[in-house]
Structure 1
Amino acid sequence: MFDEFFEKIGLRSTNGVPPGGDDHDENRRSTRGRVSDRIAGVPPVTRALFARIASADARAVALALVLVLSVPAMAIGSVGATATTQSGAIEISTVDELQAMNDDLSADYVLVDDIDASETATWNNGAGFEPIGPTANGSFMGSLDGNGHEISGLTINRPDENHAGLFASSYGDITDVNVTDADIVGNNQSSISQTAILVAELQSATVENVTVEGTVEGHRNTAGLIGLSQGSTVTNVSGDVSVTGEAYVGGLIGDASSTSVSNAEVSGSVEGTYERIGGLVGYATLGEISDSSSSVDVTGEQVVGGLVGETANTDISQTFAKGDRKG
């Protein structure tokens, strides 16, 4: 069987004598060329196998071809496939995979391991991690289930961009994740900027069972957890943060519009150079805040509060604030 196969693909002379003699090396080179021509359509994993045995005898190469082609196509096609859960969520276990979420902004994702993101400090010439769902390419519309895992050492240094955070803009739910030792720098001049550790801008989504720790520097709508939240639910969240901005600055949320906040607590420091500076939320309107607390030192020029800098049509219950307040 093999002799007939070898003859058909040109690896055996018609008289049954394999290439050899004084022209042995030339025969091997021409043989490889013929094999290469005949396997141009073979999957990369197969071609890689031939690259590793390129110096082998022509008959051995051909035999390898027979064996590899006998492997079911399904098995070959599975090599390098993206891992998913039974529910269809894409599994994330490395910082590179986390960054690759930008390749599909409508997918569901789940963390399957803690992620050390400290190397992002050197990415993109010091600009760090590229926020997921950059507004130029569309917002994040999928979901992230952190599965209780931690993302540590995240660096984002984008003082010329209006959205800085693990997520730039998200309409998708984010749950059960801890982001620690984060260093986030956003636009320090624009009045339409949003900066936070988790989400710069959250729209009509849920953030639940999330913890953030780190430093945040921005301008407007700057906070530890969410810069700007509209029509969303934020529950069972906490933070230990140092936040600096100009206006609409909060320990967890900078500007909360039509947003429900419950079971939230924060510690650390919040400093604003102008107005609407709060330990928990900088500015809250048309929403509710319940069962929450702030243990934050707050500094601002005007409209400063230990819990909320300023509220409008917001129900507040079962909350308290402690810590120094200046302004």
Structure 2
Amino acid sequence: MIYKGDMSRNQHFCKHYEMQRFKKKRLIKQRIKSRRGCCMRYAKNIKIVLAIVIINLFMLSTPLFSRATELPDEKYVNPYAKECPDGYTKIETVDDLLSINNNPSGNYILMNDIDLSETKKGGEYDTGHGWTPIKSFSGTLDGNGYRICNLTIYGNVDSYSYDGSFGGLFDEISGGLVKNLGLTDINIAIDGVYYVGGLCGSVYPCYTKESIVKCYVSGTIVVNDGVIGGIASRTYGTVKDCVSLVDIKGSPSTAGGIVGYIEYGNVEKCINRGSVQGEYCNGIFGCSLHGEFDGKRNNYYLSSSVKSNSGSVDNDEYQTSLTNSMMTKKGCFTGFDFIDTWEIDPCCEAYKYPQLKTNRIVRVLDIDIKAPSKRVYYQGDDLDLTDSKITVYYEGNDSFPAVINRDMLSGYDMSKVGKQTVTVTCGGIKRTFDIEVKEIPVESVSLPSEILIYRTDTKQLEADITPANATDKSLLWETSNSDIVTVDENGEIKAKSPGTAKITATSSNGKISSCLVTVGVKCSSIELNTTEIILEKGETSVLKAQMIPLDCTEKLKWKSSNENAVKVLDGKITAISGGYAVVTVYTDSGIEKKCDVFVIQNTKTKKPAKPNKVKGVKIKAKKGKLVISWKKVSNAERYEIFVSTKKNFSGKKKYYTSKKSITIPNIKAGKKHYIKIRGYNSYYDYYGEEAFVDGPWTTATKKAK
């Protein structure tokens, strides 16, 4: 809710913050005096308190979030908890918690859960209004994954607040940090103050510094005026990775599930599942005095949780409502770290929503697992969890069976061979089972059956290994005769001398394949007994070829360029008909030698008469083409036509036809075209070569369209 231009409203929001802080010392003295009286009463009646605690252990009721407050026979031990760091003070009892007032700038760490049930009205730690919040905390409180439960504040607390704020555990966090803490089953029902929060009233000037991180609060806040927040009423700092399950009731003027209002502060990656009602309210934060702040995105609240009397506040783009079903899906929470910070417990039927991984809302006491029956795998297989089972035991005597989820598993690598231990983790509790990952064996090795290689050459042998994803594809390479061919550890062979040898490849599990290698001597040149032969039709001749060097082992091959005139087989040449051919002798290595062969006809073909001149030429110009026709020349077999746009016929195009008309395509429009036509006859001369007798030219012109 952004109040722009409403100075009276802004002043009303800020009036308590601007109050003179001289009241602070007087109120702190009153508070310490009151707490000293409480401590004395506690010391005198410790036996009574212990008896009450023991009785309550057997009588506590167990609603969903009060299950977390039950104190079992043995203290809950957070599996993620750490030892007390240097420079920190352990908090193990209520008195330890109260002692923070003596040094609010110190560093503290919870070592176990703390029950504040005796802050109820008439309880051992009732200071007249229940719990009196810790003021002006500037140190560090690490909850260590533990929780403080059953905090009660009631009545009119106006005289206890110097700035109009009154929080839950803390009245004010002033440059301090609270992290990893659960505050459960709070019961705050007060009057006389304007700013009320579940964990603290106000977070004072630290701006972008983290002030409240990885905390959650559950319970109820009932007020009839003011600004209320499930975590904090107002903040100038950063509230990050927190969950509120606080039900805000009554009729506050402004309420937010996480923070009542923000002034130059941040709310990041927080979730509210508590109900919020008020005159102006929203699921995450109620309003912003300035409207310009960073880091409020990626906050989510249950869509059915907000009940406003007058309407929603502004800035809804910073807080997204989700249905109950959507809240069970990781993909709905943009920017949330579901590896190290958040998790959704797949086994917990009672709470299927995101909770902090090391500071859980629903805590796990123990787990039992039934390991999957399949324990032996081959490298690269997927872990089969089909018949696995995990039973998770939660606080409150709840237990839920489920199939082991892959997100619970760690400590194994299916790409590595050997025995491995798989760790199953849920709620920080770990159990293990063993598996064995075996190599994928080689089933077969295949090499070419035989190859030819020439002396001094090298060649890489490639083995086909089945299956392709076999673990160990290494091969042992061996030769049967290293004088003929050698092979290295990678399968590269080198020819040494002519002959044959067997190359063998053996896999590590004994699969074998072999290749017969023939080492030959490459031809360097070929000599022929002649390079020109003239034959008449039907005659034969033998070409003799000699490869150099004389010990060459290559084979000679022969071919003819014109088998209609000449055929060749192993050097024997046969003249088929008049004409010309090139006979080539060659080897596979690319060496060759050529011989020209001419075949003469036995009888000469009679030379035909010269054709007469073409007459009656007609040219029609059509779009993009010319249609040329003429009278048939009786003594002409065919016709030759030249077409050009130049008078000297440079760049001419030639056309041939046996018909008495032709269509010339792709004519240049508007250009004058020059045409020449003549008839011609063909025959074979003495040597079998085709020859021609041409008639005289007839010329014409035509302008194209």
TM-score (norm 1): 0.63
Instruction: Please state if 1:106 is matched with 2:105.
Output: yes
- Give the 3-state SS of the residue equivalent to 1:168 in structure 2: strand
Query: Larger relative contact order (C-alpha < 8 A, sep ≥ 6)?
Result: 1
Quote the residue 1:282 is aligned against.
Answer: 286
2: CA distance, partners of 1:158 / 1:89: 34
2: CA distance, partners of 1:178 / 1:286: 30
Quote the residue 1:292 is aligned against.
Answer: 299
Letter in 1 for 2:98: Q
How far apart are residue 315 of structure 1 and its match?
Answer: 6.8
Aligned length: 222
2: CA distance, partners of 1:217 / 1:95: 25
Moved more, 205-214 or 119-128: 119-128
2: CA distance, partners of 1:234 / 1:206: 6
How far apart are residue 282 of structure 1 and its match?
Answer: 0.9
Q: Which runs of 5+ in 1 are unaligned?
A: 1-83, 134-138
Quote the residue 1:33 is aligned against.
Answer: none
Instruction: Please state if 1:316 is matched with 2:318.
Output: yes
Quote the residue 1:29 is aligned against.
Answer: none
Quote the residue 1:119 is aligned against.
Answer: 118
2: CA distance, partners of 1:261 / 1:195: 17
CA 1:107 to 1:158, structure 2 compared with 1: closer, same or farther past 3 Å? farther
Matches within 5 A, 1:143-182: 143-161=140-158, 162=164, 163-171=166-174, 172-182=176-186
**Equivalent residues of 1:242, 1:269 under 8 A apart:** yes
- Give the 3-state SS of the residue equivalent to 2:137 in structure 1: coil
**Equivalent residues of 2:129, 2:157 under 8 A apart:** no
Quote the residue 1:128 is aligned against.
Answer: 130
How far apart are residue 87 of structure 1 and its match?
Answer: 2.2
2: CA distance, partners of 1:256 / 1:182: 23
Quote the residue 2:201 is aligned against.
Answer: 200
- Give the 3-state SS of the residue equivalent to 2:261 in structure 1: strand
Matches within 5 A, 1:213-228: 213-218=218-223, 219-228=225-234
Matches within 5 A, 1:1-327: 85-121=84-120, 122=123, 123-124=125-126, 126-133=128-135, 139-161=136-158, 162=164, 163-171=166-174, 172-187=176-191, 189-190=192-193, 193-203=194-204, 204=206, 205-218=210-223, 219-230=225-236, 232-244=237-249, 245-272=251-278, 274=279, 276-284=280-288, 285-287=291-293, 288-295=295-302, 296-304=304-312, 309-311=313-315, 316=318, 319-322=320-323
**Equivalent residues of 2:150, 2:186 under 8 A apart:** yes
How far apart are residue 217 of structure 1 and its match?
Answer: 2.0
How far apart are residue 130 of structure 1 and its match?
Answer: 1.0
**Equivalent residues of 1:99, 1:129 under 8 A apart:** no
**Equivalent residues of 2:118, 2:126 under 8 A apart:** no
**Equivalent residues of 1:148, 1:178 under 8 A apart:** yes
Moved more, 244-253 or 143-152: 244-253
How far apart are residue 125 of structure 1 and its match?
Answer: 5.5
For 1:29-68, what per-residue CA distance to the aligned partner results, in whole angstroms no more than 9, with x for missing partners? Answer: xxxxxxxxxxxxxxxxxxxxxxxxxxxxxxxxxxxxxxxx
How far apart are residue 268 of structure 1 and its match?
Answer: 2.4
1: CA distance, partners of 2:168 / 2:155: 10
**Equivalent residues of 2:198, 2:246 under 8 A apart:** no
- Give the 3-state SS of the residue equivalent to 1:127 in structure 2: coil
- Give the 3-state SS of the residue equivalent to 2:275 in structure 1: strand
How far apart are residue 169 of structure 1 and its match?
Answer: 0.7
1: CA distance, partners of 2:318 / 2:140: 29
Instruction: State the 4+ residue runs in structure 1 displaced beyond 4 angstroms.
Output: none
**Equivalent residues of 2:167, 2:199 under 8 A apart:** no
Please tell me the root mean square deviation across aligned C-alpha atoms, in Å: 2.2
Letter in 2 for 1:292: N
For 1:261-303, what per-residue CA distance to the aligned partner results, in whole angstroms no more than 9, with x for missing partners? Answer: 111111121111x3x3112111133224222211152222324
**Equivalent residues of 1:158, 1:164 under 8 A apart:** no
Structure with the greater alpha carbon radius of gyration: 2
**Equivalent residues of 1:259, 1:286 under 8 A apart:** no
**Equivalent residues of 2:173, 2:211 under 8 A apart:** no
Letter in 1 for 2:90: E
1: CA distance, partners of 2:260 / 2:300: 15
2: CA distance, partners of 1:279 / 1:118: 29
More helix by share: 1
Paired-residue identity, %: 27
- Give the 3-state SS of the residue equivalent to 2:254 in structure 1: strand
TM-score (norm 2): 0.30
Q: Which runs of 5+ in 2 are unaligned?
A: 1-82, 159-163, 325-705
